[in-house]
A and B are shown apart, each in its own frame.
Chain A
């Protein structure tokens, strides 16, 4: 007589968090010092973005709109200004603090630790610019990702002529490199209202230019997932299309697109900055990275080093840190390299 060995589940009794933390991918990522350094620096940038009002103190109109008289009042967590400045800062706070109207850069001092250019406080511009960059990035990636997943899932799940139509449409969109597509859409959207607030047109053009890439990836994964047995099992139990897509297929098909989206959180701010650098993004004086680099173009002599050095170092550090993390993440998730 044969005895059936009792199967012990090696993961029994471990919380979801423990499973995540000790999983092969996370373990691999944890052991990659470069990736962890990158992650830590990236998190520091997120903190800078969130606590921008405490690092670069509000002034001028921003103070007025926060209903406070002295900038130091933002440090008092008991006051409403503290919370308001962090979570819902008035629009005027995104205007770079302007210390004078002189074009000539001034050297770093107590009021402007990174100096000024065109009278704008470079430090203020960089700190609040980080907030602008990450805010835009989260909004754009979230919308693009949602649209990409929905269209990709429809395309992959239903197949047939729906799939064919969507895929040929994506082929057409791919005929234009994304920067060019973004510029074209942005120009048309803004031509109707040239002086208007560029935030919405920028978001819309990035989303139109970006969703197709995500949709392609999701479609591929959905095509694979929908053929798995458990989906058939669910269907045989009477689950409808909607339930199958939302409960069974999509949750198991988004891993690779989520990785892609995380990596894009770093590339989108740089693209937005590049647009502003070209003059196609935010209006002059809006706290934003690309513009500060653009200002430095008129001051390329060694005595004005700070006009370029601080913004360049800031942007490159952000990009490098995120790429180190992203590289480690891709390595960790790549089944081939395990």
Chain B
């Protein structure tokens, strides 16, 4: 077990290294001047273009260039992002907690609703409720995120005016945001910890529509997988044995069948977090939510290479770490899995 964990963790830097070689290698299609642009922090510096190219070895052969890039990156210098008018690392520090907050607020309802409806569907196989849920599932995963997001925005903000349309806070609370002591970085939680329930409520209201969009798009996968797992578990031998020895169907369904059906939800939970991260590009843009996804889209629009590169490294790191954790967790919940 321990060696497995260590080996998996050792793979993380290798994957990151190879990925960065690929992406930095791709920038070789550009001229040295274009590659230097990410490091210009102000108009005055644009006069130093040639100097920056020399400093960073941008006109040197690729191995030297990459070595210099790696050196700077390891020192925490990923360049300057024109999209946020800040360096890449501080931008990520400022925006990542918002994306994490949105992901957390979304992931829990998705898992709970998905498990509940999937089980319900399986226990009532081929009955009306199962048929309805199956059709709704197909409709759900047919809805493209960007269309659904805009439609929800139009209905709840444009037509009904029930919910705020954009951002994270209304203007008044935006001003008082600075007074909050940031314990966790998650704005709603921090506001509540500061006793500012009005601010916390405002944040939650702003998160409602993006979270709803992500939930509708992602919950269908969980429902489908849960239904299939549950059906498989219900026809297995140990469930038949449990029934034969006279256990009530509630105990059989909840204790024997569902527990085993839940196993693969651990894996799925990992995929879910990764899916929510890439979904954040679209939802955060629609609802102008100040997370990393919105930033990278703005950056891509301005060909802000340092931001896009930084974001790519960040998401790869998250994906690799999440899948490592999932693999380890899976071994913990399912003792049949052997680590070798």
Given A171-B15, A316-B142: A279 and B23 interface contact (C-beta under 8 Å): no
Within 8 Å CB of B162, what residues of A?
Answer: none
Interface contact A278-B282, CB-CB below 8 Å: yes
Given A188-B305, A296-B150: A177 and B275 interface contact (C-beta under 8 Å): yes
Interface contact A308-B154, CB-CB below 8 Å: yes
- Tell me the interface secondary structure of chain B in the complex: helix
Within 8 Å CB of A184, what residues of B?
Answer: 23, 308-309, 311-312
How long is the Cα–Cα vector from A320 to B137 in the complex, in angstroms? 11
Within 8 Å CB of A323, what residues of B?
Answer: 138, 141-142
**Interface residue tally of chain A, by bracket?**
35 or more
Chain A residues 294 to 321 lying within 8 A of chain B, measured CB to CB, are 296-297, 300-302, 308, 311-312, 315-316, 319-320
Within 8 Å CB of B303, what residues of A?
Answer: 187, 190-191, 194
Within 8 Å CB of A172, what residues of B?
Answer: 15, 18-19, 22
Interface contact A188-B319, CB-CB below 8 Å: no
With both beta carbons as reference points, the residue of chain A lying nearest to B25 in the complex is identified as A188
Interface contact A188-B29, CB-CB below 8 Å: yes
Say whether A4 faces chain B, with CB atoms less than 8 Å apart. no
Most chain-A Cβ atoms within 10 A of its Cβ — which of B282, B308, B319? B308
Within 8 Å CB of A278, what residues of B?
Answer: 146, 281-282, 285, 297, 300-301
How long is the Cα–Cα vector from A88 to B103 in the complex, in angstroms? 46
With both beta carbons as reference points, the residue of chain B lying nearest to A278 in the complex is identified as B297
Say whether B147 faces chain A, with CB atoms less than 8 Å apart. yes
With both beta carbons as reference points, the residue of chain B lying nearest to A279 in the complex is identified as B301
Interface contact A290-B146, CB-CB below 8 Å: yes
With both beta carbons as reference points, the residue of chain B lying nearest to A300 in the complex is identified as B158
| Interface residue count on the B side (C-beta < 8 Å) | 52
Say whether A180 faces chain B, with CB atoms less than 8 Å apart. yes
Interface contact B19-A186, CB-CB below 8 Å: no
Chain A's nearest CB lies how many Å from the CB of B178?
30
Interface contact B26-A188, CB-CB below 8 Å: yes
Within 8 Å CB of B30, what residues of A?
Answer: 188, 191-192
Interface 1/0 per residue, A1-12 and B, CB below 8 Å: 000000000000
Given A274-B282, A315-B144: A177 and B305 interface contact (C-beta under 8 Å): no
Within 8 Å CB of A183, what residues of B?
Answer: 281, 296-297, 300, 308
Say whether A185 faces chain B, with CB atoms less than 8 Å apart. yes
Interface 1/0 per residue, A30-55 and B, CB below 8 Å: 00000000000000000000000000
Say whether B53 faces chain A, with CB atoms less than 8 Å apart. no
How long is the Cα–Cα vector from A179 to B308 in the complex, in angstroms? 13
Interface contact B138-A175, CB-CB below 8 Å: no
Interface contact A308-B151, CB-CB below 8 Å: yes
Chain A's nearest CB lies how many Å from the CB of B124?
18
How long is the Cα–Cα vector from A270 to B309 in the complex, in angstroms? 25
Say whether A189 faces chain B, with CB atoms less than 8 Å apart. yes
Given A191-B30, A319-B144: A177 and B282 interface contact (C-beta under 8 Å): no
A-B contact pairs, 17 of them (CB 8 A): A169-B18, A172-B22, A175-B15, A175-B16, A175-B19, A175-B319, A180-B281, A180-B312, A187-B300, A187-B305, A189-B29, A192-B30, A192-B31, A194-B303, A278-B282, A278-B301, A319-B142
Query: Can you name 11 extra interface pairs (CB under 8 A) apart from A188-B26, A188-B29, A274-B145?
Result: A175-B320, A176-B312, A177-B278, A180-B277, A188-B308, A273-B146, A277-B146, A316-B143, A316-B144, A322-B142, A324-B138
Closest 3 CB pairs of A and B: A300-B158, A177-B278, A191-B303
